[in-house]
Structure 1
Amino acid sequence: MATNPLTVERLGQGGGPGVLCLHGPLTMENVLPFLHAVRREENAESVILDLTEVPYVDSSGLGSLVSACVSRQKAGRRVALSGVNERVFRLFEITKTESLFLIFPTIDEAIAALSGAAQA
């Protein structure tokens, strides 16, 4: 079954957290563009994954989010999520993974929190 493609757009340049805006479902068919985009941010202290335009996530997409978060945390780097819709958040709750992520309503709130943590 073909799904809509996932595109990943990087916002901003230099200073501050890297912001990756995902557009489309994060599914088994679409995890590679996501993983490649996250790898390109490997040197960023913090990365914000904006899920505002992600209607749903399947088990492979969830696994890729968890993997990205855990591998960055092991390297002393942070990942935050913004714009998580109710359907995706419910998946996090059901799978007991919501505590792995820093979750913020908006990109601006995530940037403020990560920037404040970096200055503290």
Structure 2
Amino acid sequence: MASSSISSDYMRGSLDPIILRVLLDGDSYGYEIIKAVSHNSGGIYELKEPSLYTSLKRLEALSCVTSYWGNESQGGRRKYYRITPKGRQLYETSLAQWKQARDLIDQLIERRAQP
């Protein structure tokens, strides 16, 4: 996986919605989420395990995801994560807030005139 040229500080506040977005595509376990994030970023961003599991733990405490143990038919036992309706709502809210913040930051940094 390629190393990110984007500061982890920029990404930190967006990890929850990034993970929720992956889970919108279906239940997934940790390594699979990391691979999906790397794939979806074109290999530019590599999500680290500690960050992933910290975020998943927080999302589970907020009832935005649930977890369950998969069967061992395909190797070791894996813990899968599933997005909940509350998680879907948090994703939609986070996406709208992110778009609003992105537009404001673009305006402030690029000094664009307001429409």
Task: Calculate the TM-score normalised by the size of structure 1.
Answer: 0.32
Largest Rg, 1 or 2: 2
Task: Calculate the TM-score normalised by the size of structure 2.
Answer: 0.33
More helix by share: 2
More strand by share: 1
